[in-house]
Amino acid sequence: MRQQDPPPAGTGHAPVRRPSQATDVPHGGDLIGALVSVTIDDHTVKVPVGTTILDAARRVGVHIPTLCHHDDLCVAGVCRVCVVEVEGQRTLQASCAYPITQPTTVRTHTRQVRQARRHIIDLLLSEHAGECTTCFRNGNCELQALAKEYGVDSFRFGRPDRPRHKVDRSSHAVVRDMNKCVLCRRCVRTCIDLQEVGVLEAVGRGEATTIATYLDKPLAEMICINCGQCINRCPTGALRANDPTDEVWAAIDDPTKHVVIQTAPSPRAGIGEEFGLEPGTPMTWEMNTALRRCGFDKVFDTNFTADLTIIEEGTELVLRLHKNLVQGDSSLPLPQFTSCSPGWIKYVEHFYPQYLPHVSTCKSPQQMFGALIKTWYAQLHGIDPAGIVSVALMPCSAKKFECNRPEMCDSGYKDVDYGLTTRELAQMIREAGIHLTEMPRSDFDDPFGTASGSGVIFGATGGVMEAALRSVIEFVTGKKVEDFYAHADIVPVRGFEGCRHAEVQIPKEVGPVPGLIRHLVPDWNWLKGATLKVGVVHGTANARKVMEDIKAGGPFSQCHFIEFMACPGGCLGGGGQPIPTGPAIRAARARAIYAEDAAYGEAGKARKSHDNPAVLRLYQEFLTDGPCGHKSHHLLHTHYTPRGKYIG
């Protein structure tokens, strides 16, 4: 079956913006902000004009199945699985795309509706190649769930006898198997509307329709930023991450290899979902135990290098500010952009390469960690770095691409050998016969087991900015950040608004320059009374808005520092996190991350990156010329060429 194109505007099915407030007005009056009555299966409720039948049904607890619909995406109405009977309408209507503009009566599970949905599901299955048991979405496939819900026990219209499309494995990050595609167009809407990248599109019409790249080129040859947001919204197994777990198991089973894993903050707030727990259930310490039982020799905390990133990136910001404001040297331009999101880096390389000089030269925490594992850690323990296998547990499919960039080898070896997503690690844990929720708690291993609360909040949009401000404020003022923000919570940079501004007023009394960076700037007198302007952006559609604002000389061009994250919600909404995702799930994961940060303070542990004793030890013993020094630049920073390509 080939789904219908979305109905044109003006047919009564076009999506209508939902009013934020509503009040009763007489029928036929001004409908803006009005309420209208709808009866759904004998449940009557008043909803704002323009509310879809699907949303109204959810309000009264009536379940309507969907496939093409997703809470993050615009309305499409292409799959028709959500059809219902609307009184007065001759044909069944797609509930996700039908706006309620007058008193309406709806029936959601009549015989005609059930039969239509069953036919649609049967037709979808007739073109869905492959079988379920070897599919990575087995047990978490929306098409499979619909087939079960509607009692599909045979292929009434047959099924493909062989795959029609070649599987595209060209990308380090994303694998495309269009044999399993059901043409819901979620990936297209994600790539075009949610992320504004535009790699995927619906090509052809009718029977010839397919989802393809430009000229059907391999994904690795496209401007894909590897964010994996398409994977998170695909209802079947047509899109998945490029899985290296077989190689990781082989390394674990090889007695000549020393296999270490670093774990980012966001997977800890999400992995419980893979084991039936509610979103936002933290599993940090249970996961550590599970990783050791899987066979990893050491379990480290990526938050260590998140703290290190703040020191390096904050120092770089200070140097940029001093060059521009004191020396009049704009060779390192402002605003400075963060660099820890590889999807964002790929985005700016493709779409705004002229702004690469604004990007911090700091590597991401993942890549800083990789460089240190095969240098300092190897030296400390007398291990041949050639025998170390460095694995990174990340919420992000773009991290797979990042660790395979040819320039990421400043340790003399490939700095990070493999990137695992949260979903892939969950599968490894299950494969090892481990029940994560039953694991005892255990801590991380030294020397990378000590982190601060600032490292934890890297996982949420605004977290990098908040972590940086905690340190910069204390560096410059000589006072505790708690003197300015209660409990060190810099609330103005938190939240899920796509683009956010904040200002930090530097007092007229400043402190001494900390010893760690005293060799770089003589004093803070040049910052007395200054206003530090910062921005926070998540999702590349929002990044485009901000970059265009900067090009036009708008408010964001006046910022000194801007945090960019490629994924909605930041890393906690990354392309490697458990499926499904949505606004409520991302908010729950964020609460878990901020709660863990708060717990650091309650336990008397450091909540600021510059207070991390393990990071200070690193500078004392290894990076002895300090932040942004020669050695740290070699191992922890990248450089750009005028053509916009990053080199080590």
Burial label for 507, CB within 10 Å (0-12, 13-18, 19+), is: middle
Structure tokens at 647: 């080199």
- What domains can you pick out in the chain, each with its CATH number? 1-109 (3.10.20.740), 155-241 (3.30.70.20), 245-304+365-438 (3.40.50.1780), 310-361+452-609 (3.40.950.10)
Burial label for 162, CB within 10 Å (0-12, 13-18, 19+), is: exposed
Q: What is the pairing mode between strands 639-640 and 239-241?
A: unpaired
Structure tokens at 118: 């069953």
Would you name the residues annotated as active-site residues? Answer: 313, 316, 340, 360, 399, 402, 407, 571
pLDDT, mean of each 10-residue run, the chain (648 residues): 36 35 42 86 96 97 97 96 97 98 97 97 92 92 96 90 91 97 97 97 92 96 98 98 98 98 96 97 97 98 97 96 94 96 97 97 98 98 98 98 96 98 98 97 94 96 97 96 96 96 95 93 95 98 98 98 98 98 96 95 94 96 95 89 42
Name the residue among 627, 518, 579 with its Cα closest to residue 70. Answer: 579
User: Residue 246: what pLDDT?
Assistant: 98
Q: What is the pairing mode between strands 336-337 and 388-394?
A: unpaired
Decide: helix, strand or coil at residue 81.
Answer: coil
Kindly write down the DSSP assignment for every residue of 117-148, as one continuous string. HHHHHHHHHTT--S-STTSTTTTS-HHHHHHH
From first CA to last CA, the distance across the chain in angstroms is: 50
Query: pLDDT tens-digit profile of 469-484?
Result: 999 999 999 999 999 9
What is the pTM for the complete model shown?
Answer: 0.92
- List helix spans (H) across 271-357: 284-294, 303-325, 342-351
Measured at the CA of 630, the angle between CA 628 and CA 636, to 5 degrees, comes to: 60
For residue 495, is it left (φ>0), alpha (ψ between -120 and 50) or beta?
A: left
CA 134 to CA 536: how far, in whole Å?
A: 41
Phi/psi of residue 162, each to 5°? Answer: -155, 155
Decide: helix, strand or coil at residue 389.
Answer: strand
For residue 310, is it left (φ>0), alpha (ψ between -120 and 50) or beta?
A: alpha
User: Residue 23: what pLDDT?
Assistant: 36
Contact yes or no for 196/204 (Cβ under 8 A): no
The torsion defined by the Cα of 622, 385, 441 and 270, in degrees rounded to 10, comes to 100
Angle, helix 303-325 to helix 463-477, in steps of 10 degrees: 60
- CB-based contacts of 321, cutoff 8 Å, min separation 6: 334, 527, 560
User: Residue 640: what pLDDT?
Assistant: 53
Number of CB atoms found within 10 A of residue 253's CB: 10
Name the residue among 13, 89, 88, 24 with its Cα closest to residue 54. Answer: 13
User: Residue 73: what pLDDT?
Assistant: 97
Query: pLDDT tens-digit profile of 579-632?
Result: 999 999 999 999 999 999 999 999 999 999 999 999 999 999 999 999 999 999
The owner of tokens 């004191």 is 326
Q: Where are the beta strands (DSSP E) in 450-506?
A: 499-505
